[in-house]
Amino acid sequence: MLCQKCHKRIANVHFTRVVNNQKVEMFLCEQCANEEGQMGFEAPLSVSEFLSGIMNFGNSAPYVNLASSDIVCEKCGMSFQEFQKIGKLGCSQCYRTFGERLKSILKRLHGSAQHNGRMPKKVSESIKISREIERLKELLNEAIKNEEYEKAAELRDRIRNLEVK
Amino acid sequence: MPGWYVEDGPESDVVVSSRVRFARNFEEYPFPSKMTREQGQSVLNAVRDAVLNNSSAAKNFVFIDIQQMSPIDRQALVEMHLISPDLAESQKQSGVLISKDEKISIMINEEDHLRIQCIYPGMQLDQALDLCIKVDGLLEENIRYAFDDKYGYLTCCPTNIGTGMRASVMLHLPALTMTGYIRNILDACSKIGIAVRGLYGENSEASGNMFQISNQVTLGQSEEEIASNIKNITSQIIEHERSLRDQLYKQNPYRLEDKVLRSFGLFTNARILSSEESLKLLSDVRLGVNMGIIKGISTEKLNEIMLLIQPGYLQKITGKPLSPEERDIKRAEIVRNKLGCSI
Ligand SMILES: [Zn+2]
Ligand SMILES: [Zn+2]
- The stretch B8-36 carries a mean pLDDT of 95
How confident is residue A60, by pLDDT bands cut at 50, 70 and 90? very low
A60 in any annotated domain = yes
Q: What is the pLDDT, as a whole number, of residue A22?
A: 53
**Greater confidence, B79 or B64?**
B64
- Average pLDDT over chain B, rounded to whole? 92
Nearest Cα of chain A lies from the Cα of B338 at a distance, in angstroms, of 32
Roughly what angle, to the nearest 10 degrees, separates helices B223-251 and B125-140?
150
B67-105 pLDDT, tens per residue?
Answer: 999 999 999 999 888 999 899 998 889 999 999 999 999
What is the percent of chain B with per-residue pLDDT over 90, rounded to a whole number? Answer: 78
With CA atoms as reference, report the closest residue to B146 among B29, B45, B21, B37: B29
- The stretch B254-259 carries a mean pLDDT of 94
Identify whether residues A24 and A52 lie together within a single domain: no
Q: B330 near B314, Cβ under 8 Å?
A: yes
Identify whether residues A11 and A40 lie together within a single domain: yes
- The stretch A37-44 carries a mean pLDDT of 38
Neighbours of A121 (CB within 10 A): 11
Cα A29 to ligand 1 centroid, rounded to whole Å: 4
What torsion do the CA atoms of A128, A131, A136, A138 make, to the nearest 10 degrees? -170
List of chain A residues whose C-beta atoms are within 8 Å of the C-beta of residue B191? 9-10, 29
**Greater confidence, A39 or B252?**
B252
- The stretch B276-301 carries a mean pLDDT of 94
A104 in any annotated domain = yes
A146 in any annotated domain = yes
Q: What is the pLDDT, as a whole number, of residue B187?
A: 82
From A24-33, A95-104, B214-223, the region with the lowest mean pLDDT: A24-33
pLDDT at A117 > cutoff 60: yes
Which class for B333: exposed (0-12), middle (13-18), buried (19 or more C-beta within 10 A)? middle
Identify whether residues A5 and A53 lie together within a single domain: no
Q: What is the pLDDT, as a whole number, of residue A64?
A: 41
**Greater confidence, A12 or B139?**
B139
A130 in any annotated domain = yes
pLDDT at A46 > cutoff 50: no
- DSSP structural state of residue A88: -
Identify whether residues A15 and A55 lie together within a single domain: no
With CA atoms as reference, report the closest residue to B235 among B6, B21, B4, B18: B18
Interchain CB distance below 8 Å, A118 and B161: no
Q: What is the pLDDT, as a whole number, of residue B188?
A: 85
Identify whether residues A98 and A60 lie together within a single domain: yes
Identify whether residues A53 and A32 lie together within a single domain: no
Give the domain extent around A24.
1-44
A116 in any annotated domain = no
How confident is residue A44, by pLDDT bands cut at 50, 70 and 90? very low
The domains located in chain B, with CATH, are 4-242 (3.30.590.10), 253-338 (no CATH)
Please give the backbone phi and psi of residue B265, each rounded to the nearest 5 degrees, phi first: -60, -45
Interchain CB distance below 8 Å, B150 and A113: yes
What is the percent of chain B with per-residue pLDDT over 70, rounded to a whole number? Answer: 96
Identify whether residues A69 and A92 lie together within a single domain: yes
Q: d(Cα B289, Cα B308) in Å, to the nearest integer?
A: 19
B193-227 pLDDT, tens per residue?
Answer: 888 887 554 455 557 899 999 999 999 999 999 99
Q: Which helix H or strand E contains A25, and what residues bound it? A: strand A22-28
Q: d(Cα B115, Cα B25) in Å, to the nearest integer?
A: 9
Identify whether residues A127 and A146 lie together within a single domain: yes
Under 8 Å CB pairs connecting chains A and B tally to 155
Identify whether residues A35 and A60 lie together within a single domain: no
B111, B133, B220: residue with CB nearest A110: B220
Q: What is the pTM of this model?
A: 0.81
With CA atoms as reference, report the closest residue to B257 among B281, B206, B292: B292
A115 in any annotated domain = no
- Which residues lie closer than 8 Å to B315 by C-beta, 6 or more apart? B72, B75, B76, B321, B322, B327
Interchain CB distance below 8 Å, B187 and A29: yes
What number of residues does chain A have? 165
Question: How many CA within 13 A on the CB side of residue B188?
Answer: 12
What number of residues does chain B have? 343
Interchain CB distance below 8 Å, B31 and A41: no
Identify whether residues A57 and A94 lie together within a single domain: yes
pLDDT at A43 > cutoff 60: no
Strands B61-65 and B15-24: unpaired
Identify whether residues A71 and A96 lie together within a single domain: yes
pLDDT at A20 > cutoff 80: no
- How many domains is chain A built from? 3
How confident is residue B168, by pLDDT bands cut at 50, 70 and 90? very high
- What ipTM score was computed for the predicted complex, to two decimals? 0.84
> How many whole angstroms from its chain centre is CA B214?
12
